[in-house]
Amino acid sequence: MLSTTPRTTLGREKHRGSTDRNDLYEVLDSGLICHLGVVVDGHPMVVPTGYGRIGDTLYLHGSTGARSLRAGQGQQVCVTVTHLDGIVLARSVFNHSVNYRSAVVYGEARLVTDEQERMDGLRALTEQLAPGQWDYARRPTRKELAATAVLALSLEEASVKVRSGAPEDEEEDYALPVWAGVLPVVSSWGAPVPDPVLAGDTATPAHIRDR
């Protein structure tokens, strides 16, 4: 079950909400980037960034010098992951919408200091964006690790919203001679583009080629 704190209880469109923790995992696990919200000098700041999940903990990382990461340490943050699945074209402008799956996580971001947890978090972050690369590419050096801040955010307080399917029009609008339906947004992988300076005999590994 997901939390039912005031900020994770949907104020509107409650029927779009899910209280199933597995739905939260699914939205998070199928994403590539999140939008991290922090408060800086009293104003909101939203930055796109990578993330990874281990159990009920979300990991974020960045340069130790990044403003958003500094602002998040030990502070309340909000992490939102959104999948846009389609444009919902209704018979009225008012009922236009989008099909989507989104997860919103609230909590205090904890600066991870334990070396093993830092490595586990970085591995999860790498594998979220590029599965197979943690074992394939060169692992971080001590110096690289020192330049990287890892934050942990509990998934305790989170909400999930999903909209799918056809438009919901006003009763009287169904008689209008207006086309209505969904225009799907499809996200896919293009063919891998080798680094121009890559040695000619370096084959594309299967975990990249077949993703």
| Of residues 84-123, those binding its own copies (CB under 8 A) | 84, 86-87, 89-94, 96, 98, 100, 102, 104, 106, 122
| Total residues in contact with its own copies, by rule CB under 8 A | 92
In the complex, least distance from residue 104 CB atom to its own copies, rounded to whole angstroms: 7
DSSP 8: G
In the complex, least distance from residue 28 CB atom to its own copies, rounded to whole angstroms: 14
How far CA 7 is from CA of 60, 154, 198, in Å, comes to 22, 15, 49
As given in the structure block, the two tokens for residue 161 are 């919203």
In the complex, least distance from residue 25 CB atom to its own copies, rounded to whole angstroms: 19
> Is 184 one of the binding residues for its own copies (CB under 8 A)?
yes
User: What would the x/- binding string for its own copies be over residues 133 to 152, using CB under 8 A?
Assistant: xx-xxxxxx--x---x----
Q: Distance of alpha carbon 206 from its chain centroid, rounded?
A: 25
> Is 208 one of the binding residues for its own copies (CB under 8 A)?
yes
Among 126, 149, 153, 160, binds its own copies (CB under 8 A): 126
**Inter-residue contact 2 to 159 (CB < 8 Å):** yes
> Is 192 one of the binding residues for its own copies (CB under 8 A)?
yes
Which CB, 57 or 72, lies closer to its own copies?
72
Which CB, 90 or 152, lies closer to its own copies?
90
Radius of gyration for the alpha carbons in the chain, expressed in angstroms and rounded = 20
120 half-sphere exposure, CB direction, 13 A CA radius: 12
Q: Please, which of residues 28-67 interact with its own copies by CB under 8 A?
A: 32-33, 35-40, 42-48, 50, 63, 65-67
Maximum separation of any 2 CA atoms in the chain, in Å = 67
**Inter-residue contact 54 to 155 (CB < 8 Å):** no
Is the alpha carbon torsion for 24, 29, 30, 34 positive or negative? positive
